[in-house]
Every structure is written in C-alpha cells, then in structure tokens.
Amino acid sequence: MTKNKVSTDQLISEILNGIDKVKGAKVNILDLRDIENTVSDYFIVCEGGSNTQVNAISGSVQKTVSKALKENPWHIEGEANAEWILLDYVNVVVHVFQKHIREFYDIESLWGDAKITTIEA
C-alpha cells in the first residue's frame, strides 16, 4: 500500500494521466494480483520514441502523481540512459521503454499469466 493511504485505483489513474500528457504510446496495465510471489499488484508498461520522450514520460508521471496525490516513487531506476525507466510506487510499478528495448525484453510475455488491459490513446 502506498504510504499516504492513496488508493491503488487513484494512483493508476494519475499515472495514466501523466503518460497521456506527453503522448506515451502502447500503454498496458498488467494485473499481477492473482499471481503468486509478485513484487507488486500492477505493472504499467508504455513506450516513448526516444530517450528524450522516455525521460519526459517519467517526469510527467512523477509530477502528475506528486501534484495530485502527494506521492513520490519509492525507487527509480534507469534515468541516466533513458532506455528503460522504472518508477516503483510499491503497489504499482511503471516501466517506460524505448520501443526497441521494450521489444527486446518483451515484459508482457514474461508475465504471461497476468491479466493485460490495453489503454487506447
């Protein structure tokens, strides 16, 4: 659970708002709640067309969530090269990829048992 008792649904909604503000593409929500031994309840996966856009998506998510919910990621990885930035909000982990990195790791297939919801732009 997030530290300020923010609901997971609110958090997901604000993360999606942040992604949408800077035109993040191919957004999927992976529901991991029915899978044993997972690190979080949800993954949100999206992509940007360049390292600049990946950084912009990450920044927009952080700013949007912070402003609306007063929440900050517990941990952030990958900002230096901006090919794959991970924002860990404990219950929800956001993965922002460049297209070729997303295709290489194919994270949705790694979590094939998860229920996947595709968010249309």
- The tens digit of pLDDT for each residue in 83-93 reads 999 999 999 99
Instruction: Specify the pLDDT at position 4.
Output: 53
pLDDT band at 19 (very low <50, low <70, confident <90, very high): very high
Domain 8-119 classification at class level: alpha beta
Cα-atom radius of gyration of the chain, to the nearest Å? 13
Retrieve residue 39's tokens.
């690190």
- For 33-71, what is each residue's pLDDT tens digit? 999 888 899 999 999 999 999 999 999 999 999 999 999
pTM across the whole model:
0.92
| First-to-last C-alpha distance (Å) of the chain | 28
